[in-house]
Amino acid sequence: MLMLALQAHLPDRSGHAKPMNITVTKIAPGQFTLTLDAQAMDLGERDLKTLWMRIEDALRPADRAKREEQFKSFLSRLAGANDSGIQALLRTAAHEDILVLLYSSEQDESLKKKLYGNMSENSIKMYVEDLLFAFREGVPGYRVDDAMLRLTGTVDKMVDAGTLSFKSPR
């Protein structure tokens, strides 16, 4: 069992510093317990990594900007993917991730055309309705991050398997 512990001093409502015990305990492969004083919650590895990414974003805003540039580069590259690879991605990726991908493609006409051009009319109708409902107030940054990290991982695996390829740069 692996355990990391620290004590933070956080101000209470009256402004006095109050110590808070924070521990992270590995309870099984890929499973952790995060404890804040007496409040414990079980997290999967991905959730813990996401939490860490949020903390890093708060501490280092430049890293967030760098990640956004990486996502933009990924989206730009995806516009040059082969059609059968895009179709496989649309079948493989989680519905929520595809919604974020479609939402993110709104500013890139070639990617938007590529994605919708590889969907059936029923799929287009379903995704458009879901986009209008799910993201009527925009997409929180953490959802974009989570979806993009999963999508880049999925695309990398598909490229390694030969399922998805990209046009050669001219």
- Are β-strands 2-11 and 17-28 bridged in parallel, bridged antiparallel, or unpaired? antiparallel
Where do runs of H (alpha helix) occur along the chain?
45-59, 61-78, 83-92, 95-104, 109-117, 121-134, 141-161
* pLDDT at residue number 9: 64
- Are β-strands 31-36 and 39-44 bridged in parallel, bridged antiparallel, or unpaired? antiparallel
Domain count, the chain: 2
Residue 40 phi/psi, 5-degree rounding, is: -115, 145
Q: Could you tell me if 42 and 123 lie in one domain?
A: no
Q: Could you tell me if 115 and 139 lie in one domain?
A: yes
CB burial of 51-77 (b: ≥16 within 10 Å; e: otherwise) equals eebeeebeeeeeebeebeeebeeebee
* Residue 42 near residue 33, CB atoms below 8 Å: yes
Q: Could you tell me if 66 and 142 lie in one domain?
A: yes
User: Distance (Å, rounded) from C-alpha 135 to C-alpha 3?
Assistant: 38
In a domain, 166, yes or no: no
pLDDT of 87 higher than 60: yes
User: Distance (Å, rounded) from C-alpha 81 to C-alpha 67?
Assistant: 21
Going 81 to 84 to 89 to 90, the CA torsion angle's sign is positive
pLDDT of 170 higher than 50: no
User: Distance (Å, rounded) from C-alpha 107 to C-alpha 109?
Assistant: 6
pLDDT in tens, 18-32: 787 888 899 999 999
pLDDT of 33 higher than 80: yes
Q: Could you tell me if 34 and 11 lie in one domain?
A: yes
Between 86 and 135, the more confident residue is 86
Residue range(s) defining the domain that contains residue 19: 2-54
pLDDT of 169 higher than 60: no
In a domain, 47, yes or no: yes
Between 49 and 163, the more confident residue is 163
pLDDT in tens, 43-72: 998 788 878 877 887 888 888 888 889 999
pLDDT in tens, 143-156: 888 899 999 999 99
Q: Could you tell me if 140 and 104 lie in one domain?
A: yes
Q: Could you tell me if 66 and 16 lie in one domain?
A: no
pLDDT of 16 higher than 80: no
Residue 98 phi/psi, 5-degree rounding, is: -65, -40
Q: Could you tell me if 107 and 71 lie in one domain?
A: yes
Q: Could you tell me if 132 and 106 lie in one domain?
A: yes
In a domain, 170, yes or no: no
Q: Could you tell me if 37 and 120 lie in one domain?
A: no
In a domain, 168, yes or no: no
Between 165 and 20, the more confident residue is 165
Q: Could you tell me if 49 and 71 lie in one domain?
A: no
* pLDDT at residue number 127: 95
In a domain, 169, yes or no: no
Q: How many CB atoms lie within 10 A of CB 99?
A: 20
Q: How many CB atoms lie within 10 A of CB 115?
A: 23
